[in-house]
Structure 1
Amino acid sequence: MESTRRRLFAGARVRDLRKRLAIPQAAMAQRLGVSVSYLSQIENEERPLTPPVLIALTREFPEQWGELGEDHSVADLVRAIDAGTDGSIAGEALDEAAVQRGVEKHPALTRRMVALHEAWRRSQAQLRVLDDKVESGAGGGGSLPWEEVRDWYQAEGNYIDALDRAAEALAGQLDDPHGIEARLRGHHGIRIEDARDDDSRLTRFDAGSRRLAVSSVLPPESRAFLLAHRLAAIEFGEQMRSVGEQSGLSSPAARELLSLGLANYAAGALLMPYARFRDAARGVRHDIDRLRQRFGTSFEQTCHRLSTLQRPGAQGIPFFFCRVDMAGNITKRHSATRLEFARFGGACPLWVVHEAVAIPDRILVQLAETPDGARYVSMAKGLVKPSASYARPPRRYAVALGCEEAHAPDFVYADGLRTDGIATPIGTSCRICPRADCDQRAFPPAASEIRIDPDVRAPVPYAF
């Protein structure tokens, strides 16, 4: 591979990238797998970028480092390495040096290997869709409205640029934490009053009388979010209509759900403006309690906002975020990582989020590994939303936030873990998990051939 053998000096570009993303030199060196002194030499143009460093840059910063002038071979090499080292495929994985030699000496063969690997990944994605339909009981009638909206957010990377920037601009005009309520009252003539004690609704807005009734039993952060939601719905109507028209959602119900979701998104962006929140998150190493105290938000709101920091050129750490109820249903989900969620319940019981549901107000952490060999640091916390009446039980659920192991130095919850230790083997759901030695398996993978030995008793009564 001639282009990777030539001496490529691009230290200024590496340094500019690091400074633009506000990454300390030590953290950058760790992410690239080099020493601080070696990175310093690269940035000062004293050392060229070697293939391993180029691969690390392409993997860690794909959008900012995706192209190297006329040299596209680095991205090709990364795809070949992903194919050759995918731990979810049976057999011994290739080492990176072997893959690099293959790219150099047998380019047609490695391209074929990459194409087969990508086809296999697509087949796995199709299998997940079938698993979703089996789990949800859906037939061939298409997605339900909330499924359409959920998949739309996933396709958008859970980042809506027009709304995020509009909310950030408006937040800069508000004077203090009470600025949202003052703007509703003074700028839009809305009267804000407490709802009746026997009213189970959180808010009720009467457009004719310009009255907004807000439940009096809400905690301050929930009240602030609902006021921000109403302000966003008023101020950003044009942006939300534009996003909705371009969404391609097929049903009116899906478009209405999207409109509600966009107002929720904008409310979070208004309470936690992008640049200020991202900088604060980096400063406290994504300590959620410190962030929520600073911005007056709830634990869940703060976790969710961290998963949306994917502005081009100013990305935060790629996080996954989800919310799980007492029955194990995933009621919110987003992943900016390679992690795939089970979309209709049935998630892996070894994942720490299920334990957290039963232990409210305690943070649990876990180092987990998926069948493809990717390792993740997960944080999960059980939460309880009290009701206003004995007649209505409180809502109990857990939220989880996590990132790939490479980002552990920037994630405070990884401090108590040995990231070089044994990881818990988790999967997406039993129907598509290839692990043959899992004691927690509920049923075999789809289309697998079951083998039963009546003379052998094991935790799972079959092999496949």
Structure 2
Amino acid sequence: MGVRLQRLREERRMTQAALAKALGISPSYLNQMERNQRPLTVPILLRIGSVLNVDPQIFSEHDSASLVADVRDVFGELPDAPPTSMAELKMLVENMPDLARSILLLQRRYRVMAERADTLAARLDDGSRGDSTQALAPSTDEEVREYLNRRQNYIDELDRAAELVAGELDGQLRTRDALQARLLERHGIRVQLSDGDAGMVRKHRYDAQQKILWLPDTLTGGQRAFQMAAQISLLEHSALIDALVLAAQFSGAGAQSSARLALSNYFAGALLMPYQRFLQAAESRAYDIERLAQQFGVGFEAVCHRLSTLQRPEAAGLPFFFVRVDRAGNVSKRQSATDFHFSRVGGTCPLWIVYDAFSHPGQILTQVASMPDGCTYLWIARQVSTGAPGYRAPGKTFAVALGCDISQAHRLIYSKGLDLHDPQGATPIGTGCKVCERQACPQRAFPSLLAARPVPPNQATP
């Protein structure tokens, strides 16, 4: 953490003596912290955040753990590269995190070029006359996910702003009606329902000239409230959202647009499930997702998503990780408030309980799963569906999963009846076949890239 502190100080062109004076400590104490000879205590971290105007979470080990896993995957894809020890990876990430992120960026660009080459080859093979020079754009969603993971899925400024709005609405009409009234009274915006069968693809459409917010009539009450809350965020807190997007330094307009959408949706979830009230309810109900969904008038997936964001420093909830997949194994959402790692390489593990959820619609499934690194987790999974009602109406089906470290599993109602301390009872899973060390796995689809380059005994991961 000392190198990060030194970099922040140098970016602001401050001497050690000047920063030490601002923090109320001696220059020698600051020098020792920058050389990692003294720890950064919580009071010092808070003072650094105030003096340097940074989020203290920039020193979070969660970010380091996630980066180490990501960089390890990148090096695992290079069959001719010499083996790299975990100690070396940790030193790289902890001392030069920006360099580590640049490595990930290079990998992302390499994948784009590889996909482009495959596309050109396919067009040559089939004689296609399409534009073979068209570039494949990198994933903007991935860039936004990385930003949220760096913030541990908690955006303090937006969360507190949403909590204030929720407090203003508290005690009035039911939430959905109160949001509709706020749009009309404060902004002159009327909410109109449109025919869901009329080809309205998006969940909402705002007509700024006529001041009408169009919502499909196929949305549930909770979904309508969510869309109204998201629109309120863009009307009342657009400057805050723009400032957050600007500070994140996204690569282009596409990523910035995706980030604005993600932040407006974050605000909507925080408004419908205000932090303190929701955390208290979650703790009192042992994190029973269905009861929380009923209490706050939202869906199962919305509760799972909100549970993965409860990382307010002075009042943190249980640290969860959240994922959403489809039947083909595509991961459309993934968030981790811990150092749990979703691999970028080789897909996901077919032994993971999230895929069983498609065979048990409506049921909540549980799994105690162990990873190759020895860590064990409790997973909860359920199938969720969205779309217009009606015979043969198009819709979407996903499976969502919520997980936590086994040391915290006893706090969940879903741990009842499970032996959380039996290592033989855990299902051995991995992050993806190409980066999984389990050679004896009966479900392996691809050879492990890591196994192709055995690590010397003195560099083996404990």
Change (3 A) 1:150 1:128: same
**2:440 aligned with 1:437:** yes
Contact 2:229 2:271 in 1 (8 A): yes
Counterpart CA distance in 1 for 2:344 and 2:452 is 25
Counterpart CA distance in 1 for 2:352 and 2:223 is 28
- In the alignment, what sits opposite 1:238? 239
Question: Displacement, 1:331?
Answer: 0.4
Change (3 A) 1:324 1:291: same
TM-score by length of 2: 0.69
What are structure 2's unaligned runs of at least 5 residues? 1-39, 46-60, 66-84, 118-135, 455-462
Question: Displacement, 1:404?
Answer: 0.2
Tell me how large the CA RMSD over aligned residues is.
Answer: 3.4
Change (3 A) 1:343 1:416: farther
Question: Displacement, 1:347?
Answer: 0.3
Contact 2:354 2:381 in 1 (8 A): yes
1:390-435 CA deviation, whole Å, 9 max, x = no partner? 4543211111001000111211111132112221111111111111
- In the alignment, what sits opposite 2:164? 169
Q: What secondary structure is seen at the aligned counterpart in 1 of 2:197?
A: coil
1:4-36 CA deviation, whole Å, 9 max, x = no partner? xxxxxxxxxxxxxxxxxxxxxxxxxxxxxxxxx
Change (3 A) 1:293 1:132: farther
Aligned length: 350
Question: Displacement, 1:358?
Answer: 2.9
Within the candidate set 140, 146, 152, 1:145 is matched to: 140
Change (3 A) 1:376 1:388: same
- In the alignment, what sits opposite 2:192? 193
- In the alignment, what sits opposite 1:417? 418
Residue identity in the other structure for 1:406: S
1:355-412 CA deviation, whole Å, 9 max, x = no partner? 1123211110000011111110000001122334545432111110010001112111
- In the alignment, what sits opposite 2:178? 179
TM-score by length of 1: 0.68
Change (3 A) 1:66 1:429: farther
1:361-376, aligned counterparts within 5 Å? 361-376=362-377
1:57-72, aligned counterparts within 5 Å? none
- In the alignment, what sits opposite 2:33? none
Counterpart CA distance in 2 for 1:144 and 1:152 is 13
Change (3 A) 1:172 1:198: same
Contact 2:353 2:366 in 1 (8 A): yes
Contact 2:204 2:215 in 1 (8 A): yes
What are structure 1's unaligned runs of at least 5 residues? 1-61, 68-77, 83-112, 452-464
- In the alignment, what sits opposite 2:309? 308
1:343-422, aligned counterparts within 5 Å? 343=344, 346-388=347-389, 390=391, 392-421=393-422, 422=425
Residue identity in the other structure for 1:310: Q
Counterpart CA distance in 2 for 1:289 and 1:193 is 29
More helix by share: 2
Counterpart CA distance in 2 for 1:66 and 1:289 is 41
Counterpart CA distance in 2 for 1:121 and 1:372 is 19
- In the alignment, what sits opposite 2:153? 158
Residue identity in the other structure for 2:161: A
Change (3 A) 1:450 1:389: farther
**2:213 aligned with 1:212:** yes
- In the alignment, what sits opposite 1:291? 292
